[in-house]
Structure 1
Amino acid sequence: AVASAVTAAATALAARAAPDASRFYWTEALWDTNRVGRLDYVSNQSLQGILARLGVADRPVWAVAVLLTLCVWAFRTRRAVVAGEWTTAFALTALTACLVSPITWVHHLVWLLPSFAVLVRTGHPRIAGALYAVLCTSVVWLWFDDASGVDGFLGGNTYTWITLGLLLWLPAGQLPA
């Protein structure tokens, strides 16, 4: 609630200070994904990036994927909050943001770091280290020119698979005693 109120206040202040720029941003620039790059670019490691590389440009398909992801997020985050695991809830929220964003460039995956802290805290330092090592590679760039086929589908989306896996299996509500 506090973050939403601050966002609304900052947005209103910006609109008052620069109404034309604000109007342009909210009515045109925000919705123009071409200004930030192609959706199918291999560096876009979001759900929409996967769909774009598959040639699925249907917004309803993306909306369903986002809705399912948000349902998983809500369930798992609620479990973490009930257990008082605020770091886990934060990590799950960061993972979800990377997945549902229309474009998640690989440098946005810095938001996966809180999940590694959760893994270490819950007794899984090797998994955290292995995932961190993979994320530090440029493995998705092996499919820069061609992300087709099964290998392109699996390898060109490696970071998205890791993010999805963490959303589904990050320990939540299971801190050791």
Structure 2
Amino acid sequence: MPKAIRIATVTAIAAAVAAFLAWYGNRHDFFDLRIYVSAMRWWADGHPLYDYAQPDRVQGELYFTYPPFAAALLRPLAEIPMGATIVIFLIGTAAAIGVTTWWLVHPVALRHRQPPWFFAGIAVPLVFVIEPTRETFTFGQINMLLVVLILGDLLLLVPRNSRWAGVGVGLATALKLYPGIFIIYLLAARRWRAAITASAVAAGATLLAAAMAPRDSWQFWTHELWSTERVGRTDYTGNQSLLGMIGRAALPGEPSRLVWFGLVVLIAAYGIRRAAQAARAGDEVAGLALAGLVGALASPISWTHHVYWFVPAFVVLVDAGLRERDLRPRLALLGLAAAGFLVLLRGVVSFDDWGIAPLPTDTLDEFVRRNAYALLALVLIAVLPVRTGVLDYRRRGAKWTDLPSHARVG
């Protein structure tokens, strides 16, 4: 493909995404980021951190729910003007998306003898436009910081057996509990040293926060951690976990926690087993994608902006599809990636008003639309391919320019 066509393709996709996002607008006005800032100012004034509450038209009241270590890192927000905080957040989140997407697509481009800037130029706008990312930006969520820590650890440090392997996962777990699924993944994949390091770092960061804020830490770990209603209603459509799906089906009754727990155990056992097999086969991206999707389903609350893990899964599908020589499996893999992307492009809360009151799921169409992420995650856990013979050029320190000249097209 001529370089001019590549440039035109990247430019057209970026322009289309920019136009869509401009039309979509800032629908939540950094609502969650404003909660972080207000909670930090409340805390700085001497109030108990976890007593802070902010009204919300859907959930009633929302609280600061992150562990104390996250609060310690966010504490400087109390002293920074809101406008400057928003600018820092926007730049940091955009940079995190660019860096993590580069990590994912760079080796794929090299395997297919394409310039990495071309693959990244296509992939980065597509990551920006999906609902999980849109919600991350418009709510002002910090989850891309966690993604940087986790991917940097599992794609760069763990495969190289670095002495720092596990630190990123440990810090992410101390900041927000759900990344703990990746410690389980490391154990299942028999990355013992990395798993031990991650556990030690998470524990050390938690103890450090306890030393800095003993009263708030005691309140969080003994009470607030177990109060899921502080995070929001589990039946709300934005919650794309298994509990959310079961809860919506059970309305107006309560979901069976026994059924939920049984499904979590079964799906987690199967999904983590597949993730560990992928890691041992050398497919680090498939492994972390499967583990992340398991974590999203198993967590009681998984808002749409939490479910980043479709992105590495789509990279695996596209790479596996492009490697297929037979037309039928190639179309199946690329078709699943395209269908999944369209699900995330439309999303589950962006263009449907499900109202404020608990709303039962009465039809099959509603069930699919209200649980699209959870259903897609279940499909991917079952069918995401594990690529064999994946050559990750990061392990060898190779670059695009290291390929033979006849292999560098464009």
The match for 1:144 is: 354
Question: Partner of 2:215 in structure 1?
Answer: 20
Cα distance per residue 1:63-89 (max 9 Å; x no partner): 111101111113211221221111111
RCO higher in structure (CA 8 A, sep ≥6)? 1
Match of 1:132 in 2: 341
1:31 corresponding residue in structure 2: 226
Q: 2:204 aligns with which of 9, 12, 23?
A: 9
Q: Write out per-residue CA displacement over residues 17-73 of structure 1, whole angstroms, 9 at most, x where no aligned residue.
A: 111111111111111111111000011000000111122432222111110111111
Supply the distance in 2 between the matched residues of 1:138 and 1:79 (Cα, whole angstroms). Answer: 30
What is the distance in 1 between the residues matched to 2:217 and 2:287? 32
- Report the TM-score when normalising by structure 1: 0.90
CA, structure 1 residues 125+176, in 2 after alignment: closer, same or farther (shift >3 Å)? farther
- Does the Cα contact within 8 Å between 1:77 and 1:89 map onto a contact in 2? yes
Moved more, 33-42 or 120-129: 120-129
Quote the residue 1:72 is aligned against.
270
- Which among 160, 167, 177 is matched to residue 381 of structure 2? 167
Q: Distance in 2 between matches of 1:119 and 1:93?
A: 16
2:326 aligned partner? none
Deviation at 1:147, TM superposition (A): 4.3
Of the three residues 234, 240, 251, the one matched with 1:45 is 240
Q: For 1:43 and 1:15, how far apart are their aligned partners in 2?
A: 32
User: Partner letter of residue 383 of structure 2?
Assistant: W
Does the 8 Å contact 1:48/1:102 carry over to 2? yes
Structure-2 separation of matches of 1:139 and 1:168: 22
Verify: 1:155 aligned to 2:369, yes or no. yes
Moved over 6 A (4+): none
Mark the CA change 1:133 to 1:53 in structure 2 (over 3 Å): closer, same or farther.
same
User: Residue 142 of structure 1 contacts residue 156 of structure 1 at CA under 8 Å; is this kept in 2?
Assistant: no
Q: Tell which structure's C-alpha radius of gyration is larger.
A: 2
Question: In structure 1, what is the Cα distance between the partners aligned to 2:346 and 2:371?
Answer: 13
- Indicate the larger mover: 76-85 or 7-16: 76-85
Asked if structure 2 preserves the Cα contact closer than 8 Å seen for 1:51 and 1:62, the reply is: yes
Cα distance in 1, alignment partners of residues 339 and 366 from structure 2 = 21
Q: State the Cα RMSD in Å.
A: 2.0
- Number of residue equivalences: 177
Q: Which residue of 2 aligns with 1:60?
A: 258
In percent, how many aligned pairs have the same letter?
40
Contact 1:45 1:159 in 2 (8 A): yes
Unaligned runs of 5+ in 1: none
Amino acid at match of 1:130: A
What letter is aligned with 1:148? T
> What is the rounded CA distance, in whole Å, between the counterparts of 1:86 and 1:93 in structure 2?
11
Contact 2:237–2:348 (8 Å) recurs in 1:
no
Alignment of 1:97-116 (within 5 A): 97-116=295-314
